[in-house]
Amino acid sequence: MLRRAWKPILGTTVLVGTPAYLYYRYRKPTLETFDISLKAAGPDGKRQMVTHTIPLLTKDQVDSRIREHASTKTMPRPGGIVWKSTTAYFSSNDPIEDANGNLLIERDASDASPPGDYIFFAVMDGHAGSSTSRVLADILIPSVAMELASRVSDPKTHLNNSGYVQKAKSLIWSGSSPNAPYDANPANVSSAIEAAFTKLDAQIVNTPLEILYNAVDQEALKKRQIPDLSRHPLAETSIRTAMSGSCALLALLDTSHRNLYVACTGDSRAVAGVYEETEDGKGVWRVEVLTEDQTGRNPNELKRIQSEHPADEAANVVRNGRILGGLEPSRAFGDARYKWPREVQEVLNKAFLEPLGEAMRPPPPTLKTPPYVTAKPVVTHRPLSFLPLPAPDAPKPKTALRFLVLATDGLWDELSNEEVVALVGGHLAGLRGTIPKSTLPELVRTSTGTAGVEGKDKSRRQQQQGAWAFEDDNLSAHLIRNALGGGDVEHLRKLASIPAPYSRRFRDDITVTVVWWEDGREGGARVEEVAVPKAKL
């Protein structure tokens, strides 16, 4: 009887169970979505709230996006020092307007300086398009290197063309040795970096003018006979590079003379983590901000800009923290709308863009005495505290600059300087997993060194509740993840899922480079084994 009953039961299982199995095995997962509301022009032209439904990325998809453009470099150098760096970027604009670059230049054996290298890193934050930032990614570091090389090889020529103040500074910095190498003097190197930035920007802004000058005689210009230059081989590249803009942040590590230089044009930021031993043996990370945010919200920048223009413009050169009410960074490459006179913009528009059926954005209404924006950087110098591997019985230094973070403002919109240093310090110390935000300060202690000047709107800054995530091997990806939500997976997924152009209302392009070095003394910064409570999300 049981055998007879078994057969129909088996048949039922095959007929009913198999389709059910196939359905659950191969059915498409339900697509998760969420809504965002943004202001947009309605049919009547008035601004109104419009709801957009956005597909929600899975956690795995978000992980892939964060790590997609992450890279790591390891550079062992003579003397036992190992230089390491990571870079990653996460786009909001399409295409991304950020860019980055790096370069290692070995010193020639015949160099009068001690053995060592020039190590360059740079991040660029473009705006109004990616043209300027992409050009800078290719030529900013080589331009600085060439300017410095020309001065090192023939320093007298530079000094002969310098003013008395620059000559005095060079003599003071060079000390008692008249034969010291040119680049042993921090004032000389800072001057070379500054000159390279300003010369490069002049080339960017003046190239369209040179094309026009070479294509037409002065009499034709007087008669307003403007040629069609849209088909010139350099027309599109030159005009778009000049009209778009970019901030630039460059770090030069001169390992020969143990010097660090950071040059900032714009509102990207450089922050260093300096590890200090403490009596209790736990250590503390001192936060050293190496740049000021160069925006109209920075009182130093506001004072500088007002001093460069007539008194009757003082109230208008910066409005709502922006240059002439429009541009946020007060220093930038390109941005010719804020550098060319109004008449020049009209002529170039007719020559380069009108034949293509395009038009420049009109100059700001209050533009009277340009330029209002400069690419001249502020250069900061710090001595590098790394040393060759010490002898076993040599005393360890109690303070050492251990890492440097260069990032575009998309990171600093979301994270504070202290949070970034703690996140990097914790990662280097071996933290992994999900760490409540309230717990990290106990595990990775920080102190305030040079504070810098905050020039950004803090309205996006994350709240203190929630958790940090330590799950990426790449330090730059690690910072980007935590800028987007960290251990708050739901928030992370939503913020990362919003596509362009809507995403610019919620986040900016983010590019991060982290540089650090290892010399066998990293153990002091390890985090003790502690029980970390799980975060509630």
Q: What is the DSSP string of 506-519?
A: T---EEEEEEEEES
Section 141-154 average pLDDT: 94
Residues 238/208, Cβ–Cβ less than 8 Å: yes
How far is 199 from 220, CA to CA, in rounded Å?
Answer: 30
- pLDDT for the residue numbered 111: 72
Q: Which of 250, 253, 249, 256 is nearest to 119 (CA)?
A: 253
If pLDDT is split at 50, 70 and 90, which confidence band does 154 have?
confident
Q: Which amino acid is at 323?
A: I
**477 occurs within a structural domain:** yes
**12 occurs within a structural domain:** no
Q: Quick one: tokens of 156?
A: 């007298």
Section 395-407 average pLDDT: 79
**26 occurs within a structural domain:** no
Kindly report, residue by residue over 246-275, the tens digit of the pLDDT. 999 999 999 999 999 999 999 999 999 999
**4 occurs within a structural domain:** no
- pLDDT for the residue numbered 334: 98
Residue 256 CB: number of other CB atoms within 10 A?
A: 17
- For the chain, what is the largest distance between any 2 Cα atoms, rounded to a whole number of angstroms? 114
- pLDDT for the residue numbered 11: 47
**275 occurs within a structural domain:** yes
180 or 16, which is more confident: 180
Kindly report, residue by residue over 336-366, the tens digit of the pLDDT. 999 999 999 999 999 999 999 999 999 999 9
- pLDDT for the residue numbered 7: 46
Segment of 23-37, 61-75, 146-160 carrying the highest mean pLDDT: 61-75
**370 occurs within a structural domain:** yes
How far is 70 from 65, CA to CA, in rounded Å?
Answer: 9
How far is 495 from 204, CA to CA, in rounded Å?
Answer: 35
**260 occurs within a structural domain:** yes
Strand partners of residue 245: 127, 334
- pLDDT for the residue numbered 85: 98
The mean predicted confidence, pLDDT, of the chain is 87
Domain count, the chain: 1
- pLDDT for the residue numbered 280: 85
Report the percent of the chain where pLDDT is more than 70: 82
Look at the alpha carbons of 502, 507, 508, 512 in this order and tell me if their dihedral is positive or negative.
Answer: negative
Place of tokens 């103040």: 165
Section 373-383 average pLDDT: 97
How far is 324 from 318, CA to CA, in rounded Å?
Answer: 5
How far is 236 from 355, CA to CA, in rounded Å?
Answer: 12
Section 70-91 average pLDDT: 93
CATH code for position 81: 3.60.40.10
- pLDDT for the residue numbered 65: 98
Kindly report, residue by residue over 467-490, the tens digit of the pLDDT. 999 999 999 999 999 999 999 999
User: β-strand 98-106 against 259-265: which pairing, if any?
Assistant: unpaired
Kindly report, residue by residue over 230-251, the tens digit of the pLDDT. 999 999 999 999 999 999 999 9
If pLDDT is split at 50, 70 and 90, which confidence band does 400 have?
confident
Could you tell me the residue range of the domain that residue 422 belongs to? Answer: 51-154+182-520
Kindly report, residue by residue over 48-69, the tens digit of the pLDDT. 999 999 999 999 999 999 999 9
**320 occurs within a structural domain:** yes
458 CB burial (10 A radius; 0-12, 13-18, 19+): exposed
Residues 100/85, Cβ–Cβ less than 8 Å: no
How far is 143 from 149, CA to CA, in rounded Å?
Answer: 10
Q: Which of 424, 441, 530, 437 is nearest to 487 (CA)?
A: 437
Residue 90, helix vs strand vs coil = strand
